[in-house]
Structure 1
């Protein structure tokens, strides 16, 4: 079954490029009006124009820096002021840093936790009543294959994504029977700007997937009769996640550290 999003509105964070932009194109192709949220206005405006021309849907753009806690209520205030009822939420915004924590910049570390964990949690809490009331939509929280084991050299990132995976799986249970489809999407290395922000490809494990492949994985999960609470994109990544679940820390930590180039 292909899930229709016509006559609904989807809000996507981190929507200026990468997975966020691909979610925008795919959901618009299924009939959803969109609210795009990110820091880079020009990129969102260009994407919004392209999506409107291609699919004839309404697209609104809201600029927000999700590392700033005041922006979270600001996003909700914007959609309320526009009279929008959000039935699908894609929490895609997030970033990583690389290197030992002892060398990390405090502000950058704090911002990573704010965006990856606190903003995602706040926006989910703010919109969940609408999502459940509407039913038939989706909540997709973008986690990572880093969620399945501790990740030396990306300790904060791995921990934030483990939180996202656990948080989302619990929400999938809490909202069962509501008609809302809830999943934590766990991609591996993906051809986006992710590693440009990280500053090195030493953090890359395995082969790249494209944003199109990763979002297709998410959509297949949403289309399934029983949406899995956690979905991993890519066969090799699924194998790695399975091993990460089972391997004791005394084995997984040195192996992961080696893969991370440390």
Structure 2
């Protein structure tokens, strides 16, 4: 069996007059589940008895995840092998699920990629995919599934941003800019949705021990190697609890929270200079 996480799960308080029995089992859709934070989200949701719709393009890893969930949980799971960098994919996912009468109560936009290096030297095709995945697909999926949540007067959306969303990050220019979009977009629609029963949360982790850093550069020349990172399980549980509480923004890690709060007192150019020095210290040749 899966090892139970040490931190307790947050559970929503019952509404007045509630018996605690749901009319139906809620369903959660998670993107980017083949490893890291996304995979940990699936385990947390399964442990909390949510049916799952899991989206990823890595068929081999999806098969391994399928076997794990089948062995350890009894929730209904739908796997869709899809590439979210393709413009029509979000609409296709929505149509397929609607045809099966699957309603999404929780949407976790976890899928994302990054790139490291000077913008003048990095590969444009990879950076275009960053924009398609981190911004376009996230926004489109939110648009599609939010409407049903509003009609049912219940829903939770979790968008994965980053502590890099709060400032310019040289050598991660496109990635950090994409996460700044995610943060701003999430805060805006969270405000719009107040009183509807639907909440939207931006999770802002720092560097995390996942497969993200291995995939950040497809050219294989350089990689980003942070020295000390929290586990994907820790970040996912933090994000799950923040989402269930309906927080608009949640920064993972006490030090990250303190540093971001303090950083607002300093000139943005100084912050960019400091970020570049830190990034240069982490960029190493293979």
| TM-score class normalised by the smaller sequence | over 0.9
Of the three residues 248, 254, 262, the one matched with 2:273 is 254
In structure 2, the residue matched to 1:112 is: 130
> 1:49 deviation in Å?
2.7
Q: 2 CA distance for matches of 1:143 and 1:189?
A: 12
> 1:44 deviation in Å?
1.6
Residues 136 and 49 (structure 1), Cα distance of their counterparts in 2 relative to 1, 3 Å cut:
farther
Of the three residues 197, 204, 207, the one matched with 1:189 is 207
> 1:148 deviation in Å?
0.7
Is 1:81 the counterpart of 2:99? The answer is yes
Is 1:238 the counterpart of 2:257? The answer is yes
Alignment of 1:25-174 (within 5 A): 25-174=43-192
Of the three residues 233, 236, 246, the one matched with 1:215 is 236
- For 1:49, what is the secondary structure of its paired residue? helix
- For 2:280, what is the secondary structure of its paired residue? coil
Of the three residues 19, 32, 35, the one matched with 1:14 is 32
> 1:38 deviation in Å?
0.8
Residues 38 and 109 (structure 1), Cα distance of their counterparts in 2 relative to 1, 3 Å cut:
same
Query: Which ranges of 4 or more aligned residues in structure 1 deviate by more than 6 Å?
Result: none
Greater radius of gyration (CA): 2
User: Any gaps of 5 or more consecutive residues in structure 2?
Assistant: 1-9, 13-19, 282-286
User: Any gaps of 5 or more consecutive residues in structure 1?
Assistant: none
Deviations 1:222-262 (CA, angstroms, capped at 9, x unpaired) = 343xx221101111111222233332112101101101117
Q: 2 CA distance for matches of 1:234 and 1:2?
A: 21
Q: Scaled by the length of structure 1, what TM-score is found?
A: 0.93
Alpha-carbon contact 2:116-2:223 (below 8 Å) kept: no
Alpha-carbon contact 2:201-2:249 (below 8 Å) kept: yes
> 1:201 deviation in Å?
4.9
Aligned residue-pair number: 259
Structure in which a larger fraction of residues adopt helix: 1
**Further displaced range: 193-202 or 92-101:** 193-202
- For 1:34, what is the secondary structure of its paired residue? strand
> 1:179 deviation in Å?
1.8
Q: 2 CA distance for matches of 1:156 and 1:48?
A: 33
Q: Scaled by the length of structure 2, what TM-score is found?
A: 0.85
